[in-house]
């Protein structure tokens, strides 16, 4: 399946400590958000979005809800120097979506699940695209000399 929509503007990355997210644990304090935001604007966002849109299970109505609710602008991407990777936090719809009456077209758990899963997949593809095709810096973390040498 594919989604035939134009890529939205890349998110502006806020100075949030990623350790505040329930799904992240990041060592260090330099998250390189300015660098990542520049790379997103230079093409990483559009490249990743196009790749994601070609394979996503989200349909146009699911995407329209996500856009109407401003979810895309709430993505966060950050550098995890210890793991030498780009980490992310994907926005999502809360479990109490029904009680909160978030959107007139939001009417089933299937739609909520499709939106949440789709945004998570988009975040992962953005991270992979950044790391594989745009980032040219090395992690600053140096492992201690006394780590065991594991044979592979």
Look at residue 80 and tell me whether its pLDDT is greater than 90: no
Helices 109-129, 45-55: axis angle to 10 degrees equals 140
pLDDT tens across 111-146, in order? 999 999 999 999 999 999 999 999 987 655 454 555
Put simply, whether the predicted model's pTM sits higher than 0.75 gets the answer yes
CB 63 within 8 A of CB 3: yes
Residue 23 has a pLDDT of: 57
Check residue 118 and give left, alpha or beta (phi > 0: left; psi -120 to 50: alpha): alpha
Calculate the dihedral angle through the C-alpha atoms of 37, 43, 49, 55, rounding to the nearest 10 degrees: -140
Q: What is the mean pLDDT of the chain?
A: 86
> Model confidence over 11-34: pLDDT tens digits?
998 876 555 656 556 566 667 888
Average pLDDT in the 47-63 region? Answer: 96
What is the pLDDT averaged over residues 99-112?
94
**What is the average per-residue pLDDT within 31-51?**
93
Residue 44: the pLDDT is: 97
Decide: 139 and 82 in contact? Cβ < 8 Å: yes
């Amino acid at each position: 399946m594919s989604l035939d929509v134009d890529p939205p503007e890349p998110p502006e990355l806020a100075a949030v400590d990623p350790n505040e997210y329930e799904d992240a644990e990041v060592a260090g304090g330099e998250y390189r958000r300015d660098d990542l935001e520049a790379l997103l604007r230079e093409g990483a966002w559009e490249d990743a979005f196009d790749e994601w849109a070609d394979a996503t299970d989200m349909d146009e109505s699911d995407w329209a809800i996500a856009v109407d609710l401003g979810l895309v602008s709430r993505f966060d991407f950050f550098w995890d120097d210890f793991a030498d990777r780009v980490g992310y936090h994907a926005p999502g719809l809360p479990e109490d979506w029904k009680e909160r009456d978030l959107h007139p077209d939001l009417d089933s758990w299937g739609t909520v699940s499709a939106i949440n899963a789709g945004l998570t997949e988009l975040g992962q593809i953005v991270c992979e695209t950044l790391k594989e095709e745009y980032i040219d810096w090395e992690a600053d973390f140096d492992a201690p000399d006394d780590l065991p040498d594991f044979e592979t």
